Every structure is written in structure tokens, then in C-alpha cells.
Structure 1
Amino acid sequence: MSTTLPASGTRPARATSAVHPGYRTLWRWHFYAGLFVMPFLIVLAITGTIYCFQPQIEPLLYPHRLVVTPAHTPRLSADTLLARAQAALPVGAKPIRAHIEANPARSAEFVFALMNGRKESVYLNPYSGEVLGTLDVDGRFMQVDRMLHRKLLLGKPGELLMELAACWTLVMIGTGVALWWPRAAPGSHGSALRAALWPRLGAKGRPFWKSLHGVIGIWLAVGALAFVVSGLPWTGSWGKQFKALATRVSAGAPRGAWGGGLPLKSTLPGAQQHADARPPMQMDHSEHAGHDMASMPGMVMDDLPLPNVPWAVGAVRVPQSPDAASPATGRFTLDQVVARMRALGVASGYDVALPATASGVYTVSYFPADPQQERTVYLDQYSGTVLKDIRYGDYGAVSQVISYGTSLHMGRYFGLANQLICTAISLGLAALAVTGFVMWWLRRPARAVGAPSRERAAPPMRAWKAGLAILAVIFPLMGATIVGVLLLDRMLFGGSKNLSAS
């Protein structure tokens, strides 16, 4: 394909500064990355911004369930509230989770698994025991928003699409910075840099949109890169494999976190213990599995019905005792669990996954804004013995870094300011998608995709090719799509209409 350049004498300054060896190659890859990423960026930006303000939004959405008037009377015990919550539900509902909250203006919340497979949250006034209402766990607004953000409500295919969108955003950022980089004659670098950092407000048409697009992109580049990198460890394909690898090599939760490899046991009083030689069950670790899947052999923390689990312990095996021959007696109560956690220094804002079987354990997950305060605690359901208390200091180096990245990504680490910064980055990414679309629309050719033309003699660009190769190795799914893009580019778009670089 031939390359169409601006005619001699037409905007010579722009041609000198913009059209350089490799420019069209980078522009072509930027075009393809943006073409794929654009709709997903808008979804990610909107849903991410909403989820970032969950603490402020949910009380406004469900004020009659979540908010109560503080009273001078003592709060009812957790066990009393749990019993009243269960009495308000159909027969057969099984309690799977309790949220422990000391905020005097917040209701008590318990989650139950119903016979029809649904999970229902029950809210009560902690002072009077009055049932304030229920919510479908999966239909809750913030849960729907979260699933849109993670998987477009399409299950595994949507999860893979969003992961690919994040990976290709890295390409979009890298090529965008390279295209933006000011190139000017010697002695004019300062003015060129100033012009590149501020939009040409006096321009009209495509030059204005191009200037605005470039300026937004460069101001957001570092934040957007941090956003993508901190979100990738939570993806359902690459992120899950990376988490499992980090755990195995002690870069996540240390391998010795389980006391020399001995199994944790919640021991039935008077029961004869025996080793279970069966291999772990291979299971589909779906997000927040139901009550019938909790505390089974081979389960990991991510499978428990908990809303938030620290990344470092997500792939850690859930304790499971051997089969028991006698019925359980003298079970530790929820009030005793609360008292035990208070003695351990955790008084509020945590969730307890209740034992699902006679050999299960109480699993406490504390996921606060400060990563160094994260706690995962296992308690024997009969004696209340602390079987394991995993803290930030027990994490591997990788998990410690990811814990901070997660808190910043979710806008939790330093309050409202963190939320506002995340909002600016998210909406800025959406603005990049919109301005990129406008630029394409203004220069689109008739009956063609509009990909930038290839260079007649492109330079080797070894650094760029090496970067793509590294991304393909780190993210194999993305590597497959890179090959696919190259093939489609040759087969379908090889004859696309030439476009100038301006």
C-alpha cells in the first residue's frame, strides 16, 4: 500500500513535527486498540465511578433498610438478631453470612441461602429487632454495577472481554504517548511541550478534537496506567491464575501460613479424627458460591459467600475437618465470635462466613480501607479457638503491593480525595473514548474502516515489537488477539483508504 502524505508546502511545520518514521505504524496500532477498547472504556468508567461511591450511594438507595435512628437502649445480641432474621424468611432458609457493624446509625445485616437457590439479605433494627426489609443479594444495585464492571453481566465471556479490554488499554496508552511526544526543531522544544500540554482552544473541527484528545490522554497517562495495572490482578482469567501462582511461590500468602502444612480442623467434641486421603475436589470456583458449596474440600477463600476477600488470601484453601461420626454439640455462638474478634482488635466492619457443615469453621474477613489492617481469621466452631489469623505482615511482597493498589483503585485509601481522583481518571478515560470517536467520525472515508495507511518503508521499531512480545507472553489471551489483529489487518484492511497523518 502506498502512503499518502501532506502535499509539499501544506502545513510544513505540522508535517515536520508529526510525520516521522514509525508514526503511521504506531497510529495504526493506536487505532485498532482504540477501536476495540472504546465501548468497554465507557462502561468501565461509568460503573467504576458509581462503585467508587458505594458508601455514599447505598444509604440513599435503601435508606429504610440500611439506616436506623441511634437509640439509647443497648443493641440486641447478634444471635437474637440472627434468630429474628431467620424467622422472617421461608422455612429452609440457611444463614451463610453475618455483617458485623458497630456504627450506631446502621442496621444489622444477615445473608441467607433460600431453597430456590437465591441469596437474600435481611436487615433489622439492632435496638428493637424489627425486620426492616430484605434485598436479593445478586439483584442489589451495587452488585449489578460491580458485575457490569467485571463481566458485563455475561458471565465468563464478558469477564474475558473486560480482561482483554484492560490489556489493550495498555497498548492504547503506550501508542498514545508515543504519538503525542513533541518533536520540534532544535531550540523550540519548550514551546512545543507547552503546546502539547494545553489544548488548542482556538482551533476548530478535527484539529481541536485531536488537540483535546492528546492533552487529556497525556495528563491521564500515569493514572490510567496505574488503574489498569491495579485492576488486572482481579480479573477472572489472568488474575486468578496470577493469584494462584503468587500463593504457590510465597509471593502471595506465604506457603507456611498454615502452620507447617498441617490441615486446620474444627474438631467435633468426642469425634474420632481420621485422615482424609482423597484428593481435593476440582470445582468451578464461581464468585461467592452458595451455601451448598461452602466449606467443602478443595474450596478456596474466593468461593465463600463473602462480599470482599483480601486478594492475598483469595486462593488460600479453606480449612476443613475430617468426617465426623457424632453430632455436633456446644457450638460457639455468633456473639462469642464477635467477642473473640473484639479481643483480637477488630470491632466493626467485617463479615463472618458461618459454618455450612458440622466440620466447618467460622471465617472472618476484614477488608478495611487501610491494607495494613486487613485480617482473615478462622475460628473453630465448637471451641472458638483461633486456628489462624492472617495479617498484612504475613503476605508476600507481591500481595502487599497489590493490596495497596486495590485500595487506591477502589477509591478507599484516603477517603473522598481518593474517590475524586478515581472519578477524574475514570471520566477522563471515557472522554478519551468519546473524543477518539469524534476524530474518527470527522475523517472517516466512505465505505471503509478508516485505518491509518501503512508506511512505505517502516523502520525496524525493535522496542515497540519487543513491548508487544512481552505483553503477549505476560497475557497469553492478549497474545492470541495480537496475532488475530495482525492477520485481520492483512486480510481485511490491507486495502483500506489512505489517510493523512493530520
Structure 2
Amino acid sequence: MTAPLNNKAPDVMSGAYRAVWRWHFYAGVLVMPFLMLLTLTGGLYLFKDEIDHAVYRSMIQIAASAQQADPDQWLSAAAIAGEGRAANVIVPARADQAVRVRVDRPDGSQRTVFVDPHTATVTGVTAYGGVTETIKKLHSLSLFGGPIGTGLNILVEIVAGWAIILCATGLYLWWPRRRAGAVLKPSETDARRRPFWRDLHALTGFYVGGVIIFLAVTGMPWSAVWGDQFMGVMRSTGLGRPPAPAAASPWSHAKPHDAPAGVGWTLENAVLPADDHGHAHGPSAPSLTRVLQTAHEQGLPRPFTVSIPQSPDLAWTVARQTRKAEDARSLYVDGVSGAVKADLRWSQFGVMAKGFEWGIAVHQGMQYGWINRIAMLIGCLAVWLLAISGLIMWWKRRPPSLSRRRSGAPPAPPGPRARIAVLCIVIPLSILYPLTGLSLVAALLLNRAVRALTGSKPAAAS
């Protein structure tokens, strides 16, 4: 979103422009590779269903039939094929599609087992979630798990904060100040100055910057630090998940193997106890058949996900798979008696939770159908276009002394007043997103080190 100075501006404005331009450059260098990965994987994940059907068509597609096998047989067949314990099952809306059972194996790995619901025959086994789960983990940089995965997830939060800084500084640079340059259409300056890439960069950022900022802001709740703090505030203020039903015990935090699937972020890890049945077995054992019967009686539309707790004292969770946030609904069902412990709907969520879930649905391109998906895809493509055009602009203006440890960054402005524009943009974002603020401090230290190596005098926030 940059445009070069064509007319002389007052010293303070010129210095502020140069300072913002310098930080816009460094922010792009630092985070654009990560943003390109995030938008590539995010753009692919927008087409999750299409990718799944293309890759696993032979496992998903089955012959439709009015006959249905006992649902508990689905779990038994999946447990044998996946060599573990059936943890949840996705019941599709269509009769010509297999159910998907997640199987947790003793070694900690997981498998997705496709089962024909009409015959309880296994049609295929793959790693949990298949290709799109790998894309999802790449998108959150949590593919490796453990401390490494947590550290990379924190990096995503920092990158999202800097993406907002990139857009804010780019808007500042684009803003007209009695100078020629791209405003709402390509400029008509001397062709010898080759303004094409500058105008492409500026106009792309102007028209699509709002989508990029939206993706960055709505992606923050997934992060390991800011997201956890946000969820804590939402729950402690009563503006998040609804209170547990009066007849039930308070919400409990599930252990990882019992965390319900498909309930959304507001109800993530929230579980309720089942009725006290002692340690009954045989006919009184928990049953998927009984839980599905309850879901049918309660009018819960398919598709939905049934989570099967490993702990016998917990209720089963049946969560509707929705595209619109306001269609969310979760049933907590006693696996033995089929009694409904809680029936939670969108109307019961607090205002923060509603905004949170709506933002996620839009972020994933689901809330408003194809228009939503295309808008998010345009945002992802725009990041690549901005990165490529920015790289080309840098290459065209790179200094001859680039090989002698010169970065080709815009020159630092003289005087302390030039840093005010940068601070006005960066400080509010650093307060809102503390990890971004900490990374800014690190960037300042790096900037001083680079200036020392290149023989320049240090200047704060230059």
C-alpha cells in the first residue's frame, strides 16, 4: 500500500512518512512469509468439503438404503479397524454417505474410520481428519504438537498482530497528501517511472485490506495466549457460554480425551456429568443407539457429531454441524438412560460468545454461503499479490551496495518527531495484543543492531 513521495512535504510529515514506510517495509519482511503460508492453508481450508470428497470419495460414497445397522455396531467395527477406542462419530445428512468415526489408539495417535451405516461395514481408514486436518494444523502451525507446536501457535498470534500493523501503516502511506500516487485508481504518471507494481500494491491493499484485518482479528481467538485470555474473560463475565442447567451440576473442564467435538469454541472442553448409574454393564451400558434416538426425538437435524466420553460418569455430547453461527445447538445426553441433561442453543449464548462464534463462521467462509467464501478467498489471494508486488518494488529500488550489508530499506528519517506517526499506529495495537508489543521491542533492538552494523547512527522507532 505504499506510494513514493513525488512532491516535497513539510519536514515533519516527510519524516513521519519515511518512518512509517520503514516500519511497513520491515514488518513485511518479517511476517510476509508466514502470512503467505497462513493464507495458502486458509484458502485451501475454505474448500474443506470439496477436498475431502475428492480425496476420499471411495470411502465416503456408499449405496443409499432404507436399512440401517445398529449404530453400536458402527462403533465396534470402527474400533476393530482403527485398533483403538471410538471417541466420536459424525452422522452425515445424506443416506449415501458413510459415517466417520474417530478412533483413539493406545499409542496416542488417532484414526478416522469410514463406516457404511446401513451394513456396519468399514469402507476405509485414514489418519485423523485426513488431508484437511493436516492443512488445518499447518494453518495454526500446530502440526508438530507439544512445546514446539505451542511456540509456533504463539508465532501465529504475533504474525496476526503484525498483519494489522502492515495494513494500518500501508493505509497511512496510501493516504493522499498533495502528492501524486495511487488513490482509487491507477496513477497516470510518467510510464518511465514504472508505477504499475506500486499502484497494484497500493490498490490491492486499499480494496482488500479490510478483509485481511478481519481475518487477522478473528483468527486471534485461536491463539495460545490472547485467545485463552479472551476466553477466560468471556466466561468469567457471564458473556460467554450459558450457565449449566439448574438440574445439572456446574460445567466441568474435560480432559483431552473427553473434550466434545463440534460444539464450537464457546463450549470447548465443557462437559456435564451423567446420572449416577453405578458401574452397570450389559443392557444398562451407554449406547450410541439410545443417544441417537434421543437426538431424533429432540428434532436435532443432521449432520451432527456425537462425542463419546471415556469417563463413564460424563454425558455424551451431540453437536449439530452448522454453517451459520445462529444454527448452533448442542445436546448433552445421558448415554445409559437417554435423558437430556442440557439443550443449548444460540439464543442462550452471551453477547461476547455470539460475536466470537459469528466471527469464526465468517472467518471460515461459512456464515454467508459462497459470497462469504469468495470474499475470504480474495483476502488470501490478496496477501500473495501484496507480497509479490512488494518484493518486486524492493528489487527495482534496491541500492547498488546491497551486497555490502545494505537491506534496501527506506532510509531512516532524522529527528525524534518523525517517530510519532509510527507510535500512534503501533502502541494501541501493542496494548491490545501484548505479544505483538513484545515482538516490537525485539524489532527495535534488531533495528539498532542492523544500523550499528551498517554504520548508521541509531534512531528510536525510525
Q: TM-score range by the shorter chain?
A: 0.7 to 0.9
The yes-or-no answer on 1:183 pairing with 2:177 is yes
| Contact 1:257/1:390 (8 A) holds in 2 | no
The yes-or-no answer on 1:450 pairing with 2:408 is yes
Structure 2 counterpart of 1:102, from 93, 100, 123 = 93
Structure 2 counterpart of 1:29, from 17, 23, 26 = 23
Q: Using the TM superposition, give the Cα deviation of residue 122 of structure 1 relative to its aligned residue in structure 2, in angstroms.
A: 1.3
Structure 2 counterpart of 1:56, from 50, 59, 62 = 50
Structure 1 counterpart of 2:213, from 225, 236, 244 = 225
Per the alignment, residue 135 of structure 2 pairs with 145
Per the alignment, residue 281 of structure 1 pairs with none
| Contact 1:449/1:493 (8 A) holds in 2 | no
Structure 2 counterpart of 1:257, from 237, 244, 247 = 244
Q: Using the TM superposition, give the Cα deviation of residue 298 of structure 1 relative to its aligned residue in structure 2, in angstroms.
A: 4.1
Per the alignment, residue 327 of structure 2 pairs with 373
| Contact 2:22/2:409 (8 A) holds in 1 | yes
SS at match of 1:123: strand
| Contact 2:321/2:328 (8 A) holds in 1 | yes
Separation in structure 2 between the aligned mates of residue 97 and residue 304 of structure 1, nearest angstrom? 10
| Contact 2:306/2:319 (8 A) holds in 1 | yes
Letter in 2 for 1:435: S
| Contact 2:42/2:380 (8 A) holds in 1 | yes
Per the alignment, residue 111 of structure 1 pairs with 102
| Contact 1:163/1:232 (8 A) holds in 2 | yes
Q: Using the TM superposition, give the Cα deviation of residue 359 of structure 1 relative to its aligned residue in structure 2, in angstroms.
A: 1.3
The yes-or-no answer on 1:299 pairing with 2:254 is yes
| Contact 2:271/2:314 (8 A) holds in 1 | no
Structure 2 counterpart of 1:346, from 296, 300, 323 = 300
Q: Using the TM superposition, give the Cα deviation of residue 15 of structure 1 relative to its aligned residue in structure 2, in angstroms.
A: 4.1
Per the alignment, residue 289 of structure 2 pairs with 335
Larger fraction in helix? 2
With over 3 angstroms needed to count, the CA separation of the structure-2 counterparts of 1:336 and 1:325, relative to structure 1, is: closer
Alignment of 1:351-366 (within 5 A): 351-366=305-320
SS at match of 2:271: coil
With over 3 angstroms needed to count, the CA separation of the structure-2 counterparts of 1:331 and 1:458, relative to structure 1, is: same
Separation in structure 2 between the aligned mates of residue 304 and residue 373 of structure 1, nearest angstrom? 24
Per the alignment, residue 349 of structure 2 pairs with 395
SS at match of 2:451: coil
SS at match of 1:111: strand
| Contact 1:25/1:455 (8 A) holds in 2 | yes
Per the alignment, residue 118 of structure 2 pairs with 127
Percent identical pairs in the alignment equals 27
Q: Using the TM superposition, give the Cα deviation of residue 168 of structure 1 relative to its aligned residue in structure 2, in angstroms.
A: 0.4
Per the alignment, residue 39 of structure 1 pairs with 33
Q: Using the TM superposition, give the Cα deviation of residue 429 of structure 1 relative to its aligned residue in structure 2, in angstroms.
A: 1.1
With over 3 angstroms needed to count, the CA separation of the structure-2 counterparts of 1:128 and 1:358, relative to structure 1, is: closer
Per the alignment, residue 279 of structure 1 pairs with none
| Contact 2:248/2:272 (8 A) holds in 1 | no
Q: Using the TM superposition, give the Cα deviation of residue 101 of structure 1 relative to its aligned residue in structure 2, in angstroms.
A: 1.4
Separation in structure 2 between the aligned mates of residue 12 and residue 244 of structure 1, nearest angstrom? 46
| Contact 1:25/1:458 (8 A) holds in 2 | no
| Contact 2:221/2:227 (8 A) holds in 1 | yes
Separation in structure 1 between the aligned mates of residue 64 and residue 226 of structure 2, nearest angstrom? 45
Deviates more, 1:460-469 or 1:376-385: 460-469
Give unmatched runs, 5+ long, in structure 2: 457-462
Q: Using the TM superposition, give the Cα deviation of residue 334 of structure 1 relative to its aligned residue in structure 2, in angstroms.
A: 1.2
| Contact 1:30/1:176 (8 A) holds in 2 | yes
Structure 2 counterpart of 1:480, from 405, 430, 438 = 438
With over 3 angstroms needed to count, the CA separation of the structure-2 counterparts of 1:126 and 1:328, relative to structure 1, is: closer
SS at match of 1:387: strand
TM-score norm. by structure 1 comes to 0.80
| Contact 2:258/2:308 (8 A) holds in 1 | no
Structure 2 counterpart of 1:318, from 268, 271, 278 = 271
Deviations 1:14-67 (A, max 9, x none): 445997341011111111211111101110111011100011111011111112
With over 3 angstroms needed to count, the CA separation of the structure-2 counterparts of 1:328 and 1:471, relative to structure 1, is: farther
| Contact 1:200/1:212 (8 A) holds in 2 | no
Letter in 2 for 1:226: F
With over 3 angstroms needed to count, the CA separation of the structure-2 counterparts of 1:311 and 1:117, relative to structure 1, is: closer
Letter in 1 for 2:78: A
The yes-or-no answer on 1:172 pairing with 2:166 is yes
Separation in structure 1 between the aligned mates of residue 132 and residue 58 of structure 2, nearest angstrom? 17
Alignment of 1:194-233 (within 5 A): 195-200=182-187, 203=191, 207-233=195-221
**Paired residues, number:** 442
Letter in 2 for 1:141: V
With over 3 angstroms needed to count, the CA separation of the structure-2 counterparts of 1:67 and 1:39, relative to structure 1, is: same
Separation in structure 2 between the aligned mates of residue 388 and residue 231 of structure 1, nearest angstrom? 29
Separation in structure 1 between the aligned mates of residue 277 and residue 118 of structure 2, nearest angstrom? 39
With over 3 angstroms needed to count, the CA separation of the structure-2 counterparts of 1:95 and 1:13, relative to structure 1, is: closer
Q: Using the TM superposition, give the Cα deviation of residue 306 of structure 1 relative to its aligned residue in structure 2, in angstroms.
A: 5.0
The yes-or-no answer on 1:66 pairing with 2:66 is no
Q: Using the TM superposition, give the Cα deviation of residue 206 of structure 1 relative to its aligned residue in structure 2, in angstroms.
A: 5.6
Letter in 2 for 1:169: A
Separation in structure 1 between the aligned mates of residue 33 and residue 356 of structure 2, nearest angstrom? 27
Q: Using the TM superposition, give the Cα deviation of residue 400 of structure 1 relative to its aligned residue in structure 2, in angstroms.
A: 0.6
With over 3 angstroms needed to count, the CA separation of the structure-2 counterparts of 1:102 and 1:242, relative to structure 1, is: same
Letter in 1 for 2:141: K
Per the alignment, residue 367 of structure 2 pairs with 413
Give the superposed CA RMSD. Answer: 2.9
